[in-house]
Structure 1
Amino acid sequence: MEFTEKAPIEEGFAPVFQDRLAPELERLEETRQTLLAKAKRHAGIALAVAAALSLLSVVYGSGDVWVGPIVLMAFGGLAAWFLWRRQAHRWSGSMAEVVMPPVCDFLGGLSYDRAALDRFPLDRVVSLGLLDEHNRTSLQDRIEGSYRGTGFEMVEAHLRRRTRSAGDDDDDSSEKTVFKGLLFRIDVPEPAPTPILIARDFGSFGNKLNAFFASGRGRNMPRVEVDHPEFEQHFEMHAEDPEAARGYLPPEFLDNLIAIAKHESDEGLAGMTAGFQRDSFYLALARKTDFLELGGLRQPVGEIEGELHEVFEDLAMVRRIIDRLHGDAPEV
């Protein structure tokens, strides 16, 4: 099997694929087949047990005989889905262990941490006001490295807020997704003179409501008026020192920031928040699709080339963002 280079970021990867990935494909396919068989077996057992219990509830039940079977089959389906997902996650991890090291080495000293054990400065992102408060955190696929002499780290995040009723009964709890997408921390050439938040504009009443519930700095900081109509139409800026913020962020930067939101977030301008704190630029981009998704359990390893192109496209995103932050059109 050969790898066909398509995007500029992939140029020169074909020999790396032949040397480091192609020899692993047969072993990976055996692993996939083993995990697929296990997933089918476990899911089948869950459904069979649910079906047997449903039958018993029909034979020996009373009242509305169909309520029990429907509930039992729903639980059985949920259990089957969970067991299948567990094996699919293991398979994706196996793929990542093989694929990501050579890709990261090829792109120049990137480090990859699937479990995001090194975490991410999430507390700073929340304190600046980029994201709402949450009490359930899932981080995965952390990338750290440098491009054009600019250090960065990025991670896929799924943040949720779980709330309970006054009775603290788990059955009465509810969970809401606060954010799903990518978080970035990018080095800046000159430290920001003041904490800065760039948040979505929800209109006069919505902004006041968000400020009322905001914790930390965020929207509680003074509003910064900027002479940029398109920016003001979609965003509002806050900073501890508004004058210093205006001097730090020229109109050209705001142009580039709008371009990042339009081209890199699945939700466009509504899917981006950003901020500065000392030597770092923080960026949150909403994303519906999974980041660095590798290895569908039903997909043969021989079809890996398409997934590799998607991996390179995901990693090209941070390069495009940094290109724009440097004031240049993206090259990848």
Structure 2
Amino acid sequence: MPLLERDEALADLHAALGSARRGQGRVALVSGGAGLGKTSVVRAFLAGLDAGVAVREGACDDLLTPRPLGPIHDLSRQAGPALARALAGDDVHAVFTALLDELAGGAVTVVVVEDVHWADDASLDALAFVARRIERLPALLLLTYRDDDVPAEAPLHRVLGGLRAPSAVRIALAPLSPDAVVQLAGQEEAGRRLYASTGGNPFFVTELLAAEHEGTPASVSHAVMARVARLPRPTRELLDLLAVVPARTEAALLDGLCPGWPERAAIAEERGVVGWQGGGLAFRHELARRAVEEALPASRARGLHARVLAALQAAGADPARLV
């Protein structure tokens, strides 16, 4: 699948690497919601590097108990022995120094750490330590994170807030445009329908195009439900209700169906699952709504439909809406 509408992001990364080659290191922050193609951009960038650039890669994992210094352990497997020795000890500051020394060598180095929204505190401290000194290093520190999956109180904000231009290069990925989705679909009408279902989310678009059956692809359903599962139970119950209402659910209807819904909706809105659209609350992507709806047990879905129908009838809704 071609990588569309990401030329500017790749150009920014190569410009940052050019600064690193001159000994003026940079931190590149590639952000975007789940499925917007952060990893695809990173892969395309790394594929275009010449043999003279050293690459070190690590990742943070979505674990209930984050692995202490997990991404730094990943980096140590591709680095010199000093970093591994420091990690084997119990002095975290020795780890910071060894990581800095690893990047201060003669070769230009690209360090990739993906999904830093899941990083543990020690890893964030290590990355912040390097980032504050990056301008004196022949290195590019490339971090990816979901900007819609970071609570306001998350330590990551402290790290991001401490980074300033020119050493920090911020690259925010946007959804694909309708024209790009049409190009991928290869047909105007099908592409417009695909865009309406996915909102231009590249992961959703790719999975739907690859699917050979009707309904929501399992890969999409699993991705959506994994995000939903991390939300509090009252919020998940609200999402179940929203899922049985096509398009959007008006505030007045929600007031009758779920008193106190704004508090339940707030965290889902912060995490980019739902948003306010045209006077009502709706899923950001129709495909996500369908995934939640299809996951409902039939008995629960039937009960939710009955509640919505009764509320619409009580409000004197138009017969077409009832149907």
TM-score over 0.5 for the pair: no
Q: TM-score range by the shorter chain?
A: under 0.3
Q: Which has the higher strand share?
A: 1
> Which structure has the larger Rg?
1
Q: Normalising to structure 2: TM-score of the pair? A: 0.24
